Amino acid sequence: MTKRPTTSVTRVELVFLKDRIERWIRFGRPIGEQVHDRRRRAVMFAPGAVFAFVRWRAGDYGTVDSRIAILQAVAPGAPFTTYPEVSPGAEILLDVAGWTRVQSVLEAIDGVERVGVRPDLAAPDYWRHVGARVGAGLAPRVYSRRRHRAWLLRRMFL
């Protein structure tokens, strides 16, 4: 963890350079957007917002890097971890690399959506679970309406 943020928003730089570099948001609710040009823009998230940030890069002979991170924007004064293209940083709930692992996380996100829950509203602990299981080469447990209800009830007491 590093020093505490002084701004109230978390800014994520996105890029699309066809067949070379792609950075995009898989889920999350930005509160603002700043377009730099056709290929570059930035999106901003409010403190506490959860979002998935996908990074992919190709070289002359195919994919060089593929990653997905599920991050939680932090409030001013809260501790955070730095993360590439995210300013000032965020709480990292999940961070995996390698296309097979990225696909597993994307499938888990799809599973959350299938039960009728927006992924940014799912329990943060679930994303930590997914990251740990996928990182160990295991399938994550399925997110259920029952688990989501338990999270909503627990959140009332936090």
The per-residue pLDDT for range 35-86, each reduced to its tens digit, is 999 999 999 999 999 999 999 998 888 778 899 999 999 998 899 999 999 9
Contact at 8 Å (CB) between 89 and 5?
A: yes
Contact at 8 Å (CB) between 116 and 143?
A: no
Q: Residue 6's pLDDT band (boundaries 50, 70, 90)?
A: low
Q: Residue 4's pLDDT band (boundaries 50, 70, 90)?
A: low
Six token digits for residue 8: 């109230």
Where in the chain are the domains?
10-155
pLDDT exceeds cutoff 70 at 119:
yes
The whole-number pLDDT of residue 158 equals 72
The arithmetic mean of pLDDT across residues 85-103, rounded, is: 95
The whole-number pLDDT of residue 61 equals 82
State pTM to two decimals.
0.91
The whole-number pLDDT of residue 114 equals 97
Q: Residue 7's pLDDT band (boundaries 50, 70, 90)?
A: low
Q: Are strands 21-27 and 32-35 parallel, antiparallel or unpaired?
A: unpaired
The beta strands (E) that lie in 3-153 are given as: 10-17, 21-27, 32-35, 40-45, 50-59, 62-72, 81-83, 86-97
Q: What is the pLDDT of residues 12-48, one digit of tens each?
A: 999 999 889 999 999 999 999 999 999 999 999 999 9
Which residues neighbour 117 within 8 Å (Cβ) at sequence distance 6 or greater? 143, 145, 148
